[in-house]
Amino acid sequence: MSVDFQVLLYYLFVRLDDPESIAEEQRSWGQELGLKGRIIVAEEGINGTVSGPREAAQEYMRRMASHPSFSATEFKIDDHDGHVFRRLSVKVRPEIVTLGETVDVAADTGTHLSPADFRAKLDDPDALILDIRNDYEYEMGRFRGAVRPPVETFKEFPAWLREQFAEAKNRPVLTYCTGGIRCEKLTAFLRREGFEEVYQLHGGIMTYAKDPEVRGEGFEGDCFMFDDRLSVPVGPPVSKCEKCGEASSRYVNCANVDCNRLYFLCEACETAHGLACSEACAASVRTRLRNARLAPLLRADGKRLRQRRHRAKVRARTTESEQPHTI
Ligand SMILES: [Zn+2]
Ligand SMILES: [Zn+2]
């Protein structure tokens, strides 16, 4: 496999007075350098994942390092054999990651822990380890002993934590996410709510996986990625093919477009039985013919995907008796 491309994952909380002109500059750099990916700019900073030929990725990082606003940006860098996005999208949004709460990251964010310090804290029996990602990310892989609150979206964490987590205010709380950005905001929220000891994994799972000292220890399964890679392996597999039970972190959407349920299915079982998640779904008329895996849907519209998944879940709950979702 040639590794002539690099994937960059990064964010920086920094006050930007004119996000529109920053977005314009990012767009022209991206076009000039041949980068693809997603960049979000807001008054609170920048958040991006981009892929490009190695030289282009290096040049992008050089430009960021000498930019008056972005010199402090830390990049998580992965080698890859091609682009992991189809196009470049640069958008201005109210937040670089949507929590829906006004928090002061600079003043309140939780203590950053290096992978080694985070690893050590995982052994504290008093510590609450909080996975603040989506359920489908958690199901693919997570830190041993981590709790994932039963909420649908990142925006719902604050209300849940406020109501259900209040008794934990004097216990150490450890949060983690893919690259660290969600932790920056959520730990700022926790501290503002009066949680005394709040820690976040610096650089997220991506940094933890590569750290030469911890090498992913304590993490089980793969890390979900919001790009064509879908996942990168970190620890021993935890997810299993729903049909044969073999270890698999291969997410597919059910062939029945009205179900569209996201589930683990190994390649052999797809070849043998197709993409339908149940016999009822296999008999459905409105099926897709080929594997339309998760990434294109997320690319097209993450919100619509979540709504569909939510509707599928509601349907599954209401029709559970006559429509089994596993074979
Ligand atoms: Zn299988
Ligand atoms: Zn189905």
Q: What are the structural domains of the chain?
A: 5-92 (3.30.70.100), 105-210 (3.40.250.10), 251-318 (no CATH)
pTM: 0.82
Give pLDDT, residue 185: 97
pLDDT at 311: 54
Question: What confidence score (pLDDT) does residue 237 get?
Answer: 86
**Residue 8 C-alpha to ligand 2 middle, in angstroms?**
35
Q: Which residues surround the ion ligand 2 when the cut-off is CB under 5 Å?
A: 254, 256, 259, 261, 277, 281
Distance CA 310, CA 60 (A): 38
**Ligand 2 center from residue 6 Cα (angstroms):** 36
End-to-end CA distance of the chain: 37
Distance CA 151, CA 225 (A): 20
- Which ligand lies nearest to the CA atom of residue 268 in the structure? 1
**Which ligand has the shortest distance to the CA of 265?**
1
How confident is the model at residue 166, as a pLDDT? 87
Candidate list 177, 241, 259, 266, residue with the active-site label: 177
Residues in a beta bridge with 142: 220
**Closest C-alpha among 249, 255, 315 to residue 279:** 255
The alpha carbon of 262 and the centre of ligand 1 are apart by a number of angstroms equal to 15
pLDDT at 283: 87
Please, is 207 exposed, middle or buried when counting C-beta atoms within 10 Å of its C-beta (0-12, 13-18, 19+)?
A: buried
54-70 pLDDT, tens digit each: 999 999 999 999 999 99
Catalytic annotation on 183? Answer: no
Q: State in Å: Cα 277 to ligand 1 middle.
A: 12
Closest ligand (CA of 308): 2
Reading the block at residue 280, the tokens are: 């009822």
Ligand 1 centroid to 246 CA: how many Å?
A: 6
Q: Give the Å distances, CA to CA, from 131 to 149, 172, 200, 284.
A: 8, 14, 11, 36
Which ranges of the chain have pLDDT less than 70? Answer: 1-3, 285, 287-327
Cα of 302 to ligand 2 centre, how many Å? Answer: 19
Beta strands 36-42 and 5-13, pairing class = unpaired
> Is 234 within 8 Å of 209 (Cβ atoms)?
yes
Considering every ligand atom, which ligand is closest to the CA of 273?
Answer: 1
